[in-house]
């Protein structure tokens, strides 16, 4: 009797070896996701679009949205209900029906009362206005808190922060162009000039993501663009990515002082992740700027990098000091709410699907490094060392908490 090898068996009987995908160790779960209406002043963004809701519903999850939550982003309730979401008429109803609360701004005092024990809250943290009580309240209710600012990819980038910074950089130039107009107490000039009339001079402080997108937009207008930073590698990167169409300089006192004297627009984009923004422009420097020039301090939410800045709002966005128009609104992307909502949706929906596919939040935190990096409160413990040091609170490493199955 002839003994056939595996290849001959496959040839004779038409059998083939097939690759088998590795099975997930977790059990897929259905989640109840709540989208409350934002209550923070001037916050118009939402975390998920109707299209994102349809994706979540198609994957077996339930979505509940508070009535009117998408109104300011121009996403009416009927678009969410058509996508499969249920509409809650009160915040109390929504919070009671949800396992995951997904929002943009962190919960305020009223919303803290609505949070249910063992819920998951995914939102921005806004460290500039957060206090110790906020974290103690979450730990008391065994809330799992995941912050936009902390979600970090394996390549060490911060995807949500980056996306919002891209919007902030682009919009800062649109804003500056508007406030250069005469009816806004500006100089009455166009950023790009016209034939025979030179363009405006834009000085950008910093060479990060906000600065890059501000520079791209300013160049698109036709402006002359200076970028200053104290990181030579960042300046070199930005200069190369923009085909050397910008002028770069080290952010020394001499260079900044000289540039501000000729600047029509100054974009404050100097920042260090996780720290207060460095102050690079003094009041004395502002006083020698042209009357009717414009400052947009795009990092005011981190303290601002211009001494004369102080926080303003979308409803009252500017003030004039030393003849210079100052725009210092902390949540600039909120004024492009539909674009910002779509951007958040693109990043957050995959995270939600990962949580469900993994079998729940504990399994997802073990397998998804971005979510693990983003978690700041878990199992009644503060899990970010930097927050523990700042607020003088006890701290536990999240990987130890997960591994010990506490």
**pLDDT by residue (tens digit) across 301-348?**
888 999 999 999 999 999 999 999 999 998 899 999 999 999 999 999
Catalytic residue among 229, 297, 301, 357: 301
DSSP class of residue 373 equals H
Residue 373 lies in a domain: yes
Answer for the pair 68, 128: CB distance below 8 angstroms, yes or no. Answer: no
* pLDDT at residue 18 is higher than 60: no
Write out pLDDT tens, residues 373-390. 999 999 989 998 888 888
What whole-number distance in Å separates Cα of residue 237 and Cα of residue 95? 46
DSSP class of residue 25 equals S
Confidence band of 406 (pLDDT split at 50, 70, 90): low
Catalytic residue among 61, 126, 165, 326: 126
As a whole number, the mean pLDDT across the chain is 89
Across 34-49, average pLDDT:
92
Map tokens 């600039």 to a residue.
332
Residue 364 lies in a domain: yes
Is 295 in the same domain as 390?
no
How confident is the model at residue 277, as a pLDDT?
A: 83
- Comparing 11-15, 89-93, 196-200, 216-220, the range with the smallest average pLDDT is 11-15
Is 316 in the same domain as 390?
no
Is 280 in the same domain as 213?
yes
How confident is the model at residue 118, as a pLDDT?
A: 93
Residue 8 lies in a domain: no
Percent of the chain scored above 70 by pLDDT?
A: 92
What CATH number has the domain bearing residue 139? 3.40.50.720
DSSP class of residue 103 equals -
Task: Please report which helix (H) or strand (E) contains residue 349, including its range.
Answer: helix 337-358
What whole-number distance in Å separates Cα of residue 191 and Cα of residue 178? 10
How confident is the model at residue 125, as a pLDDT?
A: 84
What whole-number distance in Å separates Cα of residue 128 and Cα of residue 29? 36
User: Which of 330, 358, 373 represents a domain boundary (last residue)?
Assistant: 330
How confident is the model at residue 109, as a pLDDT?
A: 86
Is 306 in the same domain as 199?
yes
Is 182 in the same domain as 34?
no
What whole-number distance in Å separates Cα of residue 36 and Cα of residue 38? 6
Confidence band of 46 (pLDDT split at 50, 70, 90): very high
Across 98-122, average pLDDT:
93
Is 342 in the same domain as 397?
yes
Map tokens 């063992």 to a residue.
118
How confident is the model at residue 341, as a pLDDT?
A: 96
Write out pLDDT tens, residues 157-179. 899 999 999 999 999 999 999 99
Domain that holds residue 248: 162-330
Is 88 in the same domain as 133?
yes
Nearest to 91 by CA among 119, 71, 112, 117: 112
* pLDDT at residue 112 is higher than 70: yes
Number of alpha carbons in the 13 Å side-chain half-sphere of residue 46:
26
Residue 244 lies in a domain: yes
Give backbone dihedrals phi and psi of 114, rounded to 5 degrees, phi first: -85, -20
* pLDDT at residue 11 is higher than 70: no
How confident is the model at residue 4, as a pLDDT?
A: 52
Q: Which residues contact 300 (CB under 8 A, 6 or more apart)?
A: 268, 309, 310, 311, 312, 328, 329, 330
Write out pLDDT tens, residues 71-83. 999 999 999 999 9
How confident is the model at residue 23, as a pLDDT?
A: 43
How confident is the model at residue 134, as a pLDDT?
A: 87
| 126 part of the active site | yes
Confidence band of 3 (pLDDT split at 50, 70, 90): low
Total domain count, the chain: 2
Is 114 in the same domain as 257?
no
Residue 155 lies in a domain: no
Residue 124 lies in a domain: yes
pTM of the model: 0.85
Residue 10 lies in a domain: no
Is 172 in the same domain as 308?
yes
SS3 378: strand
Percent of the chain scored above 90 by pLDDT?
A: 73
Is 234 in the same domain as 309?
yes
Confidence band of 130 (pLDDT split at 50, 70, 90): confident
Confidence band of 13 (pLDDT split at 50, 70, 90): very low
Residue 14 lies in a domain: no
Is 295 in the same domain as 346?
no
Is 389 in the same domain as 268?
no
| 301 part of the active site | yes
User: Which of 269, 295, 330 represents a domain boundary (last residue)?
Assistant: 330
Answer for the pair 64, 91: CB distance below 8 angstroms, yes or no. Answer: no
Give the pairing type, strands 120-123 and 144-147.
parallel
Residue 207: burial class (beta carbons within 10 Å; 0-12, 13-18, 19+): buried
Map tokens 């118009």 to a residue.
44
Confidence band of 393 (pLDDT split at 50, 70, 90): confident
* pLDDT at residue 8 is higher than 90: no
DSSP class of residue 36 equals P
User: Which of 275, 308, 330 represents a domain boundary (last residue)?
Assistant: 330
* pLDDT at residue 22 is higher than 70: no
């Amino acid at each position: 009797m002839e003994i056939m090898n595996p290849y001959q068996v496959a040839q004779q009987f038409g059998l083939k070896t097939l690759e088998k995908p590795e099975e997930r160790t977790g059990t897929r779960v259905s989640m109840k996701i709540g989208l409350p209406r934002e209550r923070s002043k001037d916050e118009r963004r939402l975390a998920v679009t109707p299209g994102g809701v349809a994706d979540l519903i198609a994957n077996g999850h339930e979505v509940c949205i508070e009535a009117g939550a998408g109104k300011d982003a121009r996403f009416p309730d009927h678009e969410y209900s058509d996508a499969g979401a249920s509409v809650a008429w009160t915040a109390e109803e929504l919070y009671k029906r949800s396992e995951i609360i997904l929002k943009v701004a962190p919960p305020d005092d009223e919303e803290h009362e609505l949070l249910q024990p063992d819920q998951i809250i995914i939102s921005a943290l806004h460290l500039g206005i957060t206090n110790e009580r906020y974290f103690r309240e979450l730990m008391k209710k065994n809330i799992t808190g995941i912050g936009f600012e902390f979600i970090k990819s394996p390549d060490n980038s911060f995807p949500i922060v980056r996306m919002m910074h891209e919007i902030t950089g682009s919009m800062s130039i649109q804003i500056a162009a508007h406030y250069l107009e005469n009816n806004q107490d500006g100089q009455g000039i166009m950023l790009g000039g016209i034939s025979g009339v030179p363009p405006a001079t834009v000085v950008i402080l910093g060479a990060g993501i906000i600065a890059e997108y501000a520079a791209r937009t300013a160049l698109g207008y036709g402006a002359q663009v200076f970028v200053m930073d104290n990181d030579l590698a960042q300046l070199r990167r930005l200069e190369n990515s923009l085909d050397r169409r910008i002028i770069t300089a080290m952010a020394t006192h001499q260079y900044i002082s000289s540039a501000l004297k000729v600047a029509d627009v100054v974009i404050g984009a100097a920042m260090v992740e996780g720290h207060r923004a460095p102050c690079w422009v003094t009041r004395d420097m502002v006083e020698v700027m042209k009357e009717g020039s414009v400052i947009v301090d795009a990092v005011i939410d981190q303290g601002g990098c211009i001494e004369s800045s102080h926080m303003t709002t979308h409803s009252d966005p500017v003030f004039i000091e030393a003849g210079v128009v100052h725009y210092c609104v902390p949540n600039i992307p909120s004024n492009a709410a539909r674009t910002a909502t779509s951007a958040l949706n693109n990043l957050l929906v995959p995270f939600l699907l990962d949580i469900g596919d993994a079998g729940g939040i504990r399994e997802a935190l073990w397998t998804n490094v971005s979510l693990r990096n983003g978690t700041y409160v878990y199992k009644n413990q503060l899990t970010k060392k930097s927050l523990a040091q700042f607020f003088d609170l006890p701290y536990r490493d999240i990987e130890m908490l997960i591994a010990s199955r506490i």
